[in-house]
Amino acid sequence: MATRRDLLKLALATGGGTLAARRAAAQNYEYTRFLCPPDDRPRDLDDMPPSPPARPFAVPLFKPPVMQPVADPKRNFLPPPNPAAHQRYEEFRPQKFYEIHEREFRWAFHSDPPYAGGTWVWGFQDGVGKSPPSSPGPTYLARYGEPVMVRRYNSLPTVGHSEVRFALPSTTSHLHNGHTASESDGNPQDWIDSGEFWDHHYGNFPAAFDPREKLTTLWYHDHRLDFTAANVYAGLFGFYFLFDEDDTGDETTGWRLPSGDYDVAFVLEDMRFDVDEAGHARMVFENFNTDGMIGDRMTVNRIITPYLQVEPRKYRLRILNGGPSRFYQLFLRASRKVGGTDRVNFTVITGDGNFLPEPVVAESLFMSVAQRYDVILDFSAYKPGDHLYLHNLLEQINGRGPSGRMLDTTDEESLLMRFDVVAGNREDPSRIPDFFRPLPSYDLDQVRRERTWVFDYDGGLWTINGKVMEPNRIDAGIDQGSFEIWNFRNGGNDWSHPIHSHFSEFIILEVNGKPFEGRFIQDKDGEEMSIGEYLGRPPEARRPIRAFYGGARRDVATLLPDDELKVIMRWPDFLGKHVMHCHNVVHEDHAMMVRWDIMEPGKGFSGSKQARDVYGPNGPLPEPFPDPRPESKPHLEIRPRNPAIEEG
């Protein structure tokens, strides 16, 4: 009888690790029945030893540096980028060039021992070299109409030499929610190893040139096939903001949203630590647990339970659930009652990466993995010395999803961060508009195909339509520019899945068989409320919803047990391969992901086909763009080889 441990031994002996084990097992259902964590490995939060203690609110929130462009691309980019490797390069010639390095370094999650000595992590460093490496990495401040080129170097130690032992120093980088061509998307197949680089071309234009398709808060993160969870947990992620003539980044122009020092982004991560032989804190990642990774230390921008000093004025907070597996329901409480209550509502302006048509007031925010919400918090009613506390009250004891029960606000485990009100010296010129921009339109008569995707669990592996990820199998051939209806169905009643499809956002048509009109927003309990009733009313006069769950337009479909969503999407502007997957990234790695390809109009298909039967000498289509240089496969740029790899 084969066991998971037997399969792993075989794979390690052949140099393939868990990847080879999973691939081998996927070919034989008899093997998949035994792919589950060994009996002695923990599955629930309470089964694992606790992390070392750390005082809450002892360390300020870390704010990532701003990414700086290189001054002289002709001198810094050697060899220069190859236009032939990028779709529509001449049309969207880069106006700024960036160089970024993936590095290993020590990071202090807290000032108390054993954290104070620094924990080995991975992160990013601006190639200009003005800031030390960090995790989250530097924040890109990009603008629509200003294409950029990012050269990303894998400067991590080679396999076997890294201090971070649970991850793989072989990387990709996906700009989550970006309207990005396949060759720059950070596809899980397109990895580079230590000493190599990859060029990412970001056109920074809205899908189909429709201004209603514009985005705002994006993030970049590793997407290496089978190692996304481990590599992101190690620290490979950061923010990417897009601005335009409305959302200008200047609170005196356009929509006049809070900007500069008053525009703060943070990523929520729950983590677990132990102590290494030298007495330093060490990240714990449970490779054998396929359910998902749950930690007992709440971090915000990789600081354990930090504080942030705020002035009595409006702030824009960009909140990201960075995973790997925990869902959140966020509440804000004040140390002093204002207006007879200590509860503080959120004014939500975005859902995932796009602006809502109108602001929405919510008592709490329900966030599955990878969701982002931009909210406006107005601290003007509070005095210096007041505190406000951000809590997560959603209970989750294992990686399968939330239990559905709520924690008490007095529980220390619910605390995420504290806002400390201090004296302000400047006026507040910022505003909250009554209206942002309408939703993109769609025409059901233009729908080319309808597909159904069932997300389930089989023999220790997470499946889509009964299959595990196979990167050379195309599970949907999509006609470029077409509309399709996709049905996302949770096949289980004991787990939850945040489903993300690359390249294109979607608009919800139905939730559990009930029509979901574009003028509605949705709360956690499935209630619908017309946001038209808010028109012309100030935020304080708008009836708040209990838990904001997302607008009609999203890039993450949150499937709670037995849920089904019907959505509509389109795929304009580019060709090439992309993926859809569960963003509980442990589920993604084991192996809840499919490949789909955007194809020339009229060349799409239903069902699954092997790539070799679609492209090249055996298929009806030529080799897909962008791989014009087969001699450099699987990389898209000719680059110097790493001597250490060649010698090895």
Q: Measure Cα distances from 639 to 82, 569, 627 in Å.
A: 11, 37, 15
Residue 298 confidence (pLDDT): 96
Residues 6+ apart with CB under 8 A from 28: none
Q: Which amino acid, residue 55?
A: R
Sign of CA dihedral 211, 517, 606, 608: positive
The SS3 call for residue 22 is: helix
Task: Report d(CA 317, CA 581) in Å as an integer.
Answer: 27
Residue 46 confidence (pLDDT): 63
Task: Report d(CA 399, CA 153) in Å as an integer.
Answer: 32
Q: What is the DSSP letter of 60?
A: B
Residue 319 confidence (pLDDT): 98
Cβ burial 253-274 (10 Å sphere, 16+ → b, else e)? ebbbbbbeebbbbbbbbbbbbe
Task: Report d(CA 199, CA 70) in Å as an integer.
Answer: 14
456 CB neighbour count, 10 Å cutoff? 17
Task: Report d(CA 600, CA 243) in Å as an integer.
Answer: 31
Low-confidence residues of the chain: pLDDT under 50: 1-34, 519-520, 524-536, 626-648
Least Cα distance to 590 among 137, 36, 30 occurs for: 36
Least Cα distance to 236 among 324, 148, 319, 108 occurs for: 324
User: Beta strand 119-126 with 140-143: parallel, antiparallel or unpaired?
Assistant: unpaired
Q: Measure Cα distances from 112 to 51, 280, 344, 562, 617 in Å.
A: 13, 11, 31, 44, 62
| Residue 91 buriedness (CB in 10 A; 0-12 / 13-18 / 19+) | exposed
Length of the chain: 648
Q: Judge if pTM exceeds 0.75.
A: yes
Task: Report d(CA 548, CA 329) in Å as an integer.
Answer: 9
Pair of tokens at residue 531: 């946001």
Residue 30 confidence (pLDDT): 41
Residue 635 confidence (pLDDT): 42
| Residue 197 buriedness (CB in 10 A; 0-12 / 13-18 / 19+) | buried
